[in-house]
Amino acid sequence: MTIHQPSLTADDVAVEKSETVYQGFFRMDKLTLRHKRFNGEWMGPFTRELFERGQAVCVLLYDPARDAVVLLEQFRVGALEDQRSPWLIELVAGMVEEGETAEDVARRECEEEAGVVPARLIPVCNYWVSPGGTSERVAIFCGLIDSKGLGGLHGLDDENEDIRTFVIPFDEAYSAVENGTINNAATIVALQWLKIHHADVCA
C-alpha cells in the first residue's frame, strides 16, 4: 500500500439517517452513520453534526512584473476573539454556486473584490478546511495580473461586504505570514506556495 491508495473509501460508509437541524445563513445537518474499521468490522451506528458550508474558491492575485500581491482586509465574525483584530488579511474569495466552476468563481470574485480579472489562473491546491465537522472545501488559485491602479474599497452591499483591497510587495506579505499578522489558512497556504514557486511564476 502507498499513501496514494486509500485502504477505505466512501463505499465503506453507510449513512442511515440525515436530518437538517438548522437552516439559516448556513446549514447544520445531523447524520446517523456506520463505517468499516481498518480490521474489516463495522463501527456504529453513531451520530455526527455536519456544518454544510459548500466549496469555496480563493485567489492570490500576483503581479510578477512588480513582484507584488493584492490582498484584502475584511471583518470575520469567527475571529471576534482574535488578539490583533477581527478584520483579517485575506485572499479574494467566494463560494461556488450551482452551475459554476471554481474558475468561474475565481474570475467573478476577483472582479467584485479587487476590480481585476486575472490574465491567467494557476491551480495551487484543493483542501478540506476542517473535515471533522464541516463539508467546506477550498480551491486556491494564483491569478496573474497587472496591479497598476488597483486598491480601494470593494464588496457588495446586499451581501454586507466592506472590503479594503491593497497592493503590497510579496516579501512584505510573506513577512506577515512569518510574524503571525496573516493568520488564516488559505492566505498562509497561498503565500507559502508562491514562496516555493516564486522563480517559476516570475519566469
Q: Which residues are catalytic?
A: 159
How many other CB atoms are there within 10 angstroms of residue 135's CB atom?
16
Q: At what angle do helices 170-178 and 185-202 cross, to 10 degrees?
A: 140
Question: Quick one: 105 exposed, middle or buried, by C-beta within 10 A (0-12, 13-18, 19+)?
Answer: buried
- The 27-36 sheet, strands edge to edge: 13-23, 27-36, 42-52
Using an 8 Å Cβ cutoff, are 49 and 30 in contact? Answer: yes
Using an 8 Å Cβ cutoff, are 152 and 165 in contact? Answer: yes
Please list, residue by residue across 36-72, b when 16 or more beta carbons sit within 10 angstroms of its beta carbon and e when fewer do: beeeeeeeeeeeeebeebebbbbbbbbbbeeebbbbb
Secondary structure class of 151 (helix, strand, coil) = coil
The cell numbers describing 122, all together, are 494557476
